[in-house]
Structure 1
Amino acid sequence: MTRIYCFGVTQERAPFVQKWSKKNNVEVTMTSESLTINNVKKVKGYDGVSIAEIAKFNSDIYPKLKEYGIKQLSQRTAGFDYFDLEKAKENGIIITNVPSYSPESIAEFTIMSALQLVRKQKLLADHVAKHDFRWVPEVRGRVLGNMTVAVIGVGRIGLQAAKLFKNFGCTVVGYDPYPKDNVSDVINYKENVQSAIKDADIVTLHMPATDENYHLFNKDMFNKMKKDSYLINAGRGSLINIEDLINALDENKLAAAALDVYEKEATYVPGTYPNKEIKDNDFNKLLHHSKITYTPHCAYYTDESVKNMIYSGLDSTLEVIKTGSSKNRVN
């Protein structure tokens, strides 16, 4: 019988793994641990390995996997920027990801974030907590459908978000280095990011993390945005220079921001720290900033997404074992 070792499986996700195992007649061993150089020996005797990394992966593990006859690692998320793909390839390790587990989940979360920003939900909640129930200009909202939205990164998620914004009546523009055909009824492509954002009331980010777009949204980019515009990031934390964003908000160059991701989040997310000090100064600032709404990388987090991540990740593992490759390989 085929044997797969599945790392990073929480109690919540174990039933999905068990159902997949029974359906496919594959023996799956689960652990909540991440795959590390110290526990990699556990995969000896197995045919495949599935992981769910949220931080930089130790490349010293690749030779060990090769030694144990493992030829693949299936990442059960879309993100694969944590891996040195060339070093994996040098050791005969195929890396796969789950390119699409529920674009609708993240797109709907993006719409929710936009509505919270334009209707000033955070400020309203603060007023209510202080028993201030007045109708005053500072809590007066705007109509989403009257706005221009710039979607930066028009992949599966970005396109779905664009469609939802369009349904609200928004004018939707966007940028992607590989624009899609036959979507002109939804989105008007611009030739670069700067052209897309300059007249936008809302800018929403759905790009992967690459060397080319690292800190793409920095002081210079914020200076090109409208002063009363809103920024949403449900893509990757490294797209934003957080220090520059905080300065832009403090200087009233932007109205507000909704962040579901933060560049250095792996130290804290997921986790609970009720009585522990947050030592990351930038993280502390964004958590307590009056113009930033933060959520801990949970835009994807729906029952549909969790199921699809498990099933697709393990399907890719089995696909490589049986065929030597996968439609979801990223190297």
Structure 2
Amino acid sequence: MKILMYAVFEDEVPYIEEFANRTGHEIVQETDYLSEKNVDLAAGFDAVVTQQTVNIPDMVYSRLAELGIRQISIRQVGYDILNIDAIHKAGLRASNVAAYSPRAIAEYTLTQLLNLIRNNKRYYQATESGNWLWSAAPQGKEIHDLTVAVIGAGRIGSALAEMLHVLGAKVLAVDPVYHAQNEAFLDYTNLDDALKRADVITFHTPLNKQTNGMADKDFFQKVKKNAYILNFARGGIIQTSALLENLRSGKLAGAALDVLPNETEFMGKIQNPDKLPADVQELMSRDNVLLSPHVAFYTNLAVKNMVEIALNDAIALSQGKHIENEILY
């Protein structure tokens, strides 16, 4: 089978080559993301795989179908870049990698939470300027004294909840889907109750009509004073203007963000800080805000699994088989 992989980055290459050698499939690598400009590269291939934060235009799906492609597989969890209705209308099937390594994102979320509550950014900045005084930052907090609201208790959210529970935190979960096995380490509740009680609010939901912009002005009005906000899911969940308003006022104790609504303007690039969007510059300037370049997933195991699971699913879909990761709606 001949497979075209779009948006390949350097760290994926060894896993792609190992897969090709082991399975005998021909895999051609393209560094650019899938778009209307390069969709015709798929001519003569049996399957396509991509990974990107840029939306795929609807015409790409119909063109893939014209080229004889029967599927589109993305090697990532979030599939807000896809128009599932348009995909099905074109006669294609789609898949994502729903669980390449939930622990990778959960561990990184926990890492940044610990950095936040111990004021590590302030201490790093202070010591770099020669200030070695304890008073360079306020006293830190300890996990076991905190109540954490996990918004979205799926694979990633529940993995984080279990870690937090082991460390002694009180964990609340807000999720439309109930899993009885999670009761061992979290308590399900509604959003309003979680916001009223939580010292930490962390998002682990997909980006869809229900979650797009959910952390808005009204949302933050319900949040308790001195809460921390974490987002390691999708940037569009939080309205940056509302977040900044509550950071400026001092209502929020801090924030850690691995994703931003406008991240496609600068992520994956070497960017002059002065050229960044104004809201991003303001977030960067705050000593109680931690920003990272959408790397919560970025571990050796996660990259390996993203490549192998996506390729296996692409092959199966192109052969008309059923798979666990197919996106149906």
TM-score of the superposition, structure 2-length normalised? 0.96
Partner of 2:126: 127
By how many angstroms is 1:212 displaced?
A: 1.0
Q: Is the 8 A contact 1:94 1:325 kept in 2?
A: no
Q: Is the 8 A contact 1:97 1:313 kept in 2?
A: yes
SS in 1 for 2:134: coil
Match of residue 312, structure 2, among 312, 315, 328: 315
The one-letter code of the counterpart of 1:261 is V
CA distance in 2, matches of 1:13, 1:325: 26
The one-letter code of the counterpart of 2:202 is T
Q: How many correspondences in the alignment? A: 328
CA distance in 1, matches of 2:93, 2:319: 13
Q: Is the 8 A contact 2:116 2:288 kept in 1?
A: no
By how many angstroms is 1:62 displaced?
A: 1.2
SS in 2 for 1:12: helix
Assess, with a 3 A threshold, how the Cα gap between structure 1 residues 131 and 276 changes in structure 2: closer, same or farther: closer
CA distance in 2, matches of 1:137, 1:33: 45
TM-score of the superposition, structure 1-length normalised? 0.96
CA distance in 2, matches of 1:34, 1:134: 48
CA distance in 2, matches of 1:303, 1:129: 31
The one-letter code of the counterpart of 1:272 is I
By how many angstroms is 1:324 displaced?
A: 4.3
Residue correspondence of structure 1 range 251-262 to structure 2 within 5 A? 251-262=249-260
Stretches of 4+ aligned residues off by more than 3 angstroms: none
Deviations 1:221-259 (A, max 9, x none): 112112111111111111101011001010011100000
By how many angstroms is 1:66 displaced?
A: 1.0
The one-letter code of the counterpart of 2:87 is A
CA distance in 2, matches of 1:38, 1:172: 46
Q: Is the 8 A contact 1:124 1:139 kept in 2?
A: no
Deviations 1:265-315 (A, max 9, x none): 112111212x47424222222222232110011011000100000001101
Partner of 1:113: 112
Match of residue 241, structure 1, among 239, 242, 257: 239
CA distance in 2, matches of 1:92, 1:62: 9
CA distance in 2, matches of 1:36, 1:148: 43
SS in 2 for 1:204: strand
Partner of 2:229: 231
Identity score, percent: 29
The one-letter code of the counterpart of 1:74 is S
More helix by share: 2
SS in 2 for 1:66: helix
Match of residue 271, structure 1, among 269, 272, 275: 269
The one-letter code of the counterpart of 1:315 is N
Partner of 1:52: 51
Residue correspondence of structure 1 range 154-303 to structure 2 within 5 A? 154-190=153-189, 192-273=190-271, 275=272, 277-303=274-300
Partner of 1:86: 85
